[in-house]
Amino acid sequence: MLMDTHKRWQAIINRTLSDSELFFYGVLTTGVFCRPDCSSKLPKQDNVVFFNSIDEAKQAGYRACKRCHPESTTQNEKRIAQIISACRIIDQSEEKQTLEVLAKAVGLSTYHFQREFKKYVGISPLQYGRGVRTARFERLLTEHKSITDAIFASGYQSTTSAYQDNSLAMSPKVYRAGGKGVNIQFSIKSSKFGYVVIGVTKRGICAIHFADSPTLAEITLRERFPQADIQEADNDLQALIGATVAYIENPDSQCELPLDIQGTAFQQQVWQVLRSIRPGNTMTYSEVAQKLGKPTAFRAVASACANNKLAVVIPCHRVVGKSGKLTGYRWGVERKRALLENEKES
């Protein structure tokens, strides 16, 4: 969630401010603290200490730099600092925090806090907190803690809330077993863009993958879910399968497909932006990062695109290189070109 020491040092070297974290650094040999973008001579890394706030730097005995004036932060920077503070509270809390508590902690009204949090983070405080709890829960499960201990240690108030959390694509017990026993029904269809395999759980579509043959399509799905119980889709799912193929071939059609997919908070932000790109249009990785308010995160955006398991529905094919070049696509650059040309013709 927060920048590590290496990234903070890189920000100082590059003299850049990050929208994802506002911090300050102190220089041991001078007793002065600065902003990351200070134009002063670069200190030795061994002489640098980091602070999360101006108050923290002052309490440590450091005085403000007369060149970068760290106390003269802009309103935007102050708001970023407030939102980061709220993220820290959520990250570090062992209990679910209410909107009212978070807003009061950072000195904003509930209404403005909700609006500003979504503006800067890209998702609501509720979604962010759910992502933090889910990640913590999954980590604790893999550390062989009991399921009950993991539930409460992750910040859930009850076992029911953990099992009903929509961000979990399977029950805790099943997740701990590596997906063993999850029932996935699948169907392989021919489309304009080659064969497509569609996997569906009881919660919705969990996978849409392209392949060059029916055999490869099924192998791809089974490799994605190696311990799941995978069976061919029954007649009850044919309408959903048909609607999915229709959407792939004509994404301008109005079709709300039920999805069953997990992702980190950042991946969810990226995927939300991708779904806002109109069919036939494109954005660069840098533009997506800019829209998220994280202009330096274009590589992380590319990683989120690469981790997309729902072709076309989450349209990572609409993201291109800086020059407009069609760069890597997990299902092939030629298929990416065909998808975009099809959308422009529709």
Residues 208 and 201: their CA atoms lie apart, in Å, by 12
> Which has the closest alpha carbon to 12: 40, 37, 39, 49?
37
β-pair type (48-51, 24-27): antiparallel
Please choose, from the candidates 327, 331, 252, the residue with its C-alpha nearest in 3D space to the C-alpha of residue 286.
327
Inter-CA distances, 172 with 11, 151, 165, 190, Å: 39, 9, 10, 35
Residue 258: CA count within 13 A, CB half-sphere: 12
Per-domain boundaries in the chain: 5-64, 103-178, 183-249, 265-345
Q: 5-64 belongs to which homologous superfamily?
A: DNA Methylphosphotriester Repair Domain (3.40.10.10)
Amino acid 189: pLDDT: 95
CA gap 322, 336 in Å, rounded: 16
Mean pLDDT by 10 residues, the chain (346 residues): 73 72 88 90 94 89 90 70 85 81 90 85 81 67 52 48 48 52 89 94 90 90 84 91 92 76 77 89 91 83 88 93 82 92 86
One DSSP character per residue, 240-292 reads: HHHHHHHHHH-TTS-----B-----HHHHHHHHHHHTSPTT--EEHHHHHHHT
- The answer regarding whether domain 183-249 maps to CATH 3.30.930.10 reads no
pLDDT of residue 193: 94
**Angle at the Cα of 342 from the Cα atoms of 200 and 270, rounded to 5 degrees:** 55
**Average pLDDT of the chain, as a whole number:** 81
| Active site (catalytic) residues | 34, 316
Domains 103-178 and 183-249 equal at CATH topology level: no
Cα gap 267→303, rounded to integer Å? 9
Provide the pLDDT for residue 22: 72
* Beta bridge partner(s), residue 169: none
Which DSSP category does 95 fall into? Answer: S
How many contiguous H segments (helices) and E segments (strands) does the chain have? 15, 10
Which option is the CATH number for 265-345: 3.40.50.40, 3.30.830.10, 1.10.10.10, 3.30.300.30? 1.10.10.10
19: nearest Cα among 37, 42, 33, 34: 37
Q: What is the pLDDT of residue 255?
A: 61
- At 63 the pLDDT is 94
Residue-level pLDDT at 166: 42
Residues 186-209 have pLDDT tens digits of 999 999 999 999 999 888 898 999
Q: Which homologous superfamily is 103-178 in?
A: Homeodomain-like (1.10.10.60)
Q: What is the bridge-based pairing of β-strands 229-232 and 183-191?
A: parallel
Amino acid at 233: A
- Which pLDDT tens digit goes with each residue over 140-183? 555 544 555 554 454 555 444 544 454 445 555 555 454 556 88
What is the predicted pLDDT for the residue at 152? 46
